[in-house]
Structure 1
């Protein structure tokens, strides 16, 4: 039987590219998304290339849709080999301008969504005594950045959550955990984040405006002048995810580009893939 994979957030970007790439490499793919009306592009690719991809409704903020999707997979295959927690949303506003509802939303989508999906598959993977959970985080999960404090905080939370699980679940139940940490991605995700900052964030005036203008100018300059590639395509990130999934000894964490590696170097130089620290934690606590 083929290995199967459940991928969240597959309507666009990294999720869509991952679903197609995994299917082309022999996986049975369950491609999930909050709104299946946005699955047109993926459906066209499935039809054109006869891909083994099955589209499911799954909203990471709604546990009922998560459980229904997982029940569908178990009824079909009796197992889940791999979960890729990819669904997320860009967000950039100052703390002062962010509403209570927005704080809850960005945390719900980018952090608690990962927790819900992970919690739902863990009993299955524990009982079958194998599995791999790959969480798509960000360099923002290692390095705090201007106007991204809430997004970075959510990704920091995913990093801590995953690192903690790896310290005791992996050895006991043969469940692997990995975090894939992209830098900038040239997809709708980035456009959405910028829109939320400059338009929804109402940064057309006020004392934060000069700082925001310098921030945006710097982003554009780095993208156009840097000798290292800042913005990757969704496919380039998907290729790293597939590499991690196919590895016999996958890293706990991995950056997806040379730029991302350099950007996080002060945080990661002592333990680039995260395994050294996890082993020290195991020695200290278990």
Structure 2
């Protein structure tokens, strides 16, 4: 019997590639996105390769949308085996110059969406005494970076949420928890981050501008000089996600490239996959 997987944010990038890869490897895939008008590329791939993928609308910022998608899957399958929390959005702007709406938006999309999707599937995974929750976080969930503090704050929150969850649901209900932590990804995610950041053509103003210009120059230098070592394709990251889903004993944390591993080394050297800290917390509290 096929394991079924619910993946959020599948219109482009890692989510798009994950939907295809999971289906090619024997999963029944429920590929979701906020706007099904963006589903044409995935629909084309489904038809060309006869993939077992069903498209569903799901907006991670709206609980009723999440519940509707989950209920559709439960009615058809009776269970949800894997949830891949992939939907997210980049944001690079100073805290001081960000609006209340922008701050709420970046938190809703990158953190609250993960919590609400997880909350929606947990009752079913708990009852079936099995399941897997994989959240695509970021090296920015481990290491804060200039002009990305609001994005990093949301991703740090996801890391803490997943870590806390892992300390008790894994043993009690056989629900496996993993954070997949990419570095740079050469996908539309990068483009959307720039578009969302731009406000009347400006990213930062006043005293922040020269710092931001240095930051952007550094980004451009890395993109041109170290593209192969820094930036992965969506498919490369999706391959890591699939490997995690097929792992009998998946790690709590996994970076997706050597660059990401090196970038986070000061934070992760003592406990690269998160196993030690989870065991320590269980010993201390449970």
Map of 2:215 onto structure 1: 215
Question: C-alpha separation between the residues in 1 aligned to 2:199 and 2:244?
Answer: 37
Q: Report the alpha carbon displacement of residue 225 of structure 1 after superposing the two structures with TM.
A: 2.2
Give the aligned length.
286
CA contact 2:93–2:204 (8 Å) conserved in 1? no
Q: Would the aligned equivalents of 2:4 and 2:80 in 1 still touch at CA under 8 Å? A: yes
| Structure 1 residue aligned with 2:91 | 91
In 1, the alpha carbon distance for the partners of 2:270 and 2:200 equals 39
After superposition, the Cα gap between the structure-2 partners of 1:164 and 1:204, relative to the gap in structure 1 and judged at 3 Å, is closer
Residue 261 (structure 2) aligns with:
261
| 1:3-152 aligned within 5 A | 3-152=3-152
Contact 2:204 2:212 (8 Å CA) reproduced: no
Q: Distance in 2 between matches of 1:249 and 1:108?
A: 30
**Cα separation, 1, equivalents of 2:61 and 2:205:** 33
Which runs of 5 or more structure 1 residues have no equivalent in the other structure?
A: none
Using structure 2 for the length normalisation, give the TM-score: 0.97
Measure, in 1, the Cα distance between the counterparts of 2:117 and 2:235. Answer: 23
8 Å CA contact retained: 1:223, 1:229? no
CA distance in structure 2 between the partners assigned to 1:59 and 1:195 by the alignment = 20
Report how far residue 122 of structure 1 moved. Answer: 0.3
Contact residue 132 and residue 245 of structure 1 kept, 8 A: yes
Aligned to 1:230: 230
CA distance in 1, matches of 2:105, 2:189: 16
Q: CA offsets per residue over residues 217-251 of structure 1, 9 Å max, x none?
A: 11121232239611111000000000000001101
- The CA distance in 1 between the partners of 2:125 and 2:281, in whole Å, is 23
Q: Render the CA deviation track for 1:123-160: whole Å, top value 9, x for unaligned.
A: 00000000000000000000000110100000000000
Q: Which aligned pairs between 1:169-180 and structure 2 lie closer than 5 A?
A: 169-180=169-180
Q: Alignment partner of 1:59: what SS?
A: coil
Counterpart in the other structure of 1:158? 158
Cα RMSD of the aligned pairs, angstroms, is 1.2
CA change 1:172–1:114 in 2 (3 A) is same
Listed as ranges, the gaps of 5+ residues in structure 2 are none
- Over 3 Å counting, the alpha-carbon distance change for 1:201 and 1:129 in structure 2 is farther
Distance 1:92 1:200, change over 3 A: farther
